[in-house]
Every structure is written in C-alpha cells, then in structure tokens.
Amino acid sequence: MLQFLSKEVGVVVPELEYKFTNDVLFKWLFTRNQELLKRLIAGMLDISLESINEFVVTNPDIPPEVVDEKLCRLDISMVVDGSRIGLEVQVSNEGDFPERSLYYWAREYSSALKAGGEYIDLPRTIIISILNFKQFNCTEYFSQHMVLEVTRYTVLTDRLCLQFYELPKLPDVDDTDDELMFWLTLFNAKTEDDLSKIEAIGGDVMKEAIGAYRTVTATDEFRQLERMRADALNIKASALGHARREAIRETDEKWQGIVDEKDAQLADKDIELAEQAAELAKKDKELDKLRTILEMQSTDSE
C-alpha cells in the first residue's frame, strides 16, 4: 500500500506555498485548463470522458474587484450535457456548510428558469463540494444527498443533488487505476514531496495537472490576485475579531452593570436590615424598662 501523504520520521518537509484547496488557485487552474476540469468532473459524476458532448464553464473569469471582496465565493459553474454543475473547495468549517450548499443549489437551480419557461424544463443541478474538514459523522469520504421519501427511500426528483468529498477521510491510495482518487489526493497534497509522489505514479493526467499548477503559481498575475485575496481575508478576520472583542466587552459591561446594580440593591438591603435591627434593639430596651417597672410595682404591693 502506498501512502502518498506520509512523511519520513524526523524529516521536516516544507509545506506548499499554494495548496490545491486555495480558492484563487483552484479557479484559476481549472478555468484555464478546462480539459483537466472536464476529466475531474467526469470522475466525480462517474461518467466516461468520451460521453460528454457539452461542457461549458459559465463563469470562467476572476475579476480583481471580485477577489477583493471579503465574502466572495470562487466556485466554478458549468453546464455538462444540459445539467448544471457547481464545483467549489471549502477550507474552514464555519458550522453551516450543508445549509450554504443547499442555498447555492437553490440559487443555481432557480436561475435556470427563464421568463415563460416551464418547471419541467429545469435542469438537473449538482453542487459538488471538496471539503478540507470532516462534515459528517461517518467514515466514508464521499457523501451524496438527494430528496428521498423517508420510509420508502424513493427519490422525489433527480434535479437536486449535493455531493461532498471530505479530504481528511481519504484512505491511503493503492489503486493507480482510480483517477478520481488521484485527483482528491492532489487536493490533499501539503508538500512538494507529496506532489512528486503523485506525479511519479499518477500517470500523464497527474503530470499535466501538476505541471499546470507550477505554471500558474509562477505567474505574477496569479500571485497578485492571491495577495489581494489574502488581504481581503485578513481584513475579514480582523473585522470579525474586532466584532468579537467588542461583543465580549459589551457583554462584560452589561454583566458588570447587572452585578453593580445587584450589589447596590444588597447594600440598600443591608442598610434597611441594620435600621430594622436598631429599631428592634430600641424596642427591646423599652420592654426591659417596662418589665423592671412592673417587677418593682409587684414587690411594693406585697
């Protein structure tokens, strides 16, 4: 069994400057090498490359102003033999990815209905997500979700399909005929050593993909876009960090205000109790005086 991503004990291997899960690299690489993208999609849809008659990338460009947006999503949208396909990579788990994927699907699906069109003509729409984290509580790295009847498990429609590939769950690769597994292992590559191992036994397609990767990452245009993207993400992280700190500060101030108010109420209560205690002590003295007078009167009468 060949374990591509293992490292020799005691050997420090530097990480890749740009990994295949980098969203700018991902889109730049595959929209400029669409034959590679076509092979990847064929594997993910489990269809033969030769069977694809229509393959169109509908959003091939990466405008700099879009990259500079802090919340932009650099996915690849395609039409493959009439079906709409969305492909994206997601590095961090923000806790809402299934819901986000369903929203992306709904947007892609609904946008296909033209004015005057019929619902029956809406295309099959598949959102494919390559995740750099574990999303589902299972051991399988691949999950496919459709709309099913919950007792008979019959499919309502094939128009909705969400596919997820969880990279941390990938097994060791030992099947050199499984091109899709090589693709996924390439997305999971962390070091130059990983790339060299994949290139050595992954066949001509992997050599072409890695060659395209090295060409793209060496260009000034890509590096500029990547710097813009990194700056935008840093600004987003800083804004979120500031908002988090402000929320903590406001919460602390709120609770401190509540504590101070309670302390003041307790202090007022202590004063009230002290006054009541003083009043009771005064009454006790008066009672003692009355008791003494009564005792003296009783003695005189005897």
Q: Which of 231, 222, 180 is nearest to 25 (CA)?
A: 222
Q: Are 208 and 43 in contact (CB under 8 A)?
A: no
Q: What pLDDT score does 166 carry?
A: 97
Q: What single letter denotes the amino acid at residue 39?
A: R
CB atoms within 10 A of CB 101: 22
* pLDDT surpassing 80 at residue 134: yes
The H or E element that residue 129 is part of is: strand 125-131
Q: Which residues of 50-65 are buried (b: 16+ CB within 10 A; e: fewer)?
A: eeeeebebeebebeee
Containing 163, the helix (H) or strand (E) segment is strand 155-166
What's the rounded Cα separation, in Å, for the pair 26 and 6? 23
Residue range 242-258: mean pLDDT, rounded: 80
Q: How many residues does the chain have?
A: 302
What is residue 248's predicted lDDT score, i.e. its pLDDT? 83
Percentage of residues in the chain having pLDDT higher than 90: 54
* pLDDT tens, residue by residue, 74-91: 789 999 999 999 999 999
Q: How many CA atoms lie within 13 A of 270 on its CB side?
A: 6
Question: Two tokens at 88?
Answer: 């994206």
Which two tokens mark 282?
């005064």
pLDDT at residue 300 above 90? no
Question: Looking at residue 12, what is its pLDDT?
Answer: 67
- Which segment, 62-76, 199-213, 285-299, is predicted with the most confidence on average? 199-213
The pLDDT score that the predictor gives to residue 4 is 45
The DSSP bridge pattern shows strands 155-166 and 125-131 to be: parallel
HSE (side-chain half, CA atoms, 13 Å) at 198: 29
Task: Select the highest-mean-pLDDT range: 133-147, 248-262, 285-299.
Answer: 133-147
Average pLDDT, rounded, for the chain? 86
Query: Which two structure tokens, joined as six digits, stand for 34?
Result: 């669409």
Residue 160: strand pairing partners: 125
Residues of 173-199 as b/e, b for ≥16 C-beta within 10 angstroms?
Answer: beeeeebebbbbbbbbbbbebbbebbb
Confidence label for 201 from pLDDT (cuts 50, 70 and 90): confident
Q: Which pLDDT value is given to residue 119?
A: 93
| 180: DSSP letter | H
Neighbours of 284 (CB within 10 A): 10
Task: Report the candidate in 186, 170, 187 with the shortest Cα–Cα distance to residue 23.
Answer: 187
Q: Is residue 274 over pLDDT 60?
A: yes
Is 6's pLDDT higher than 80?
no
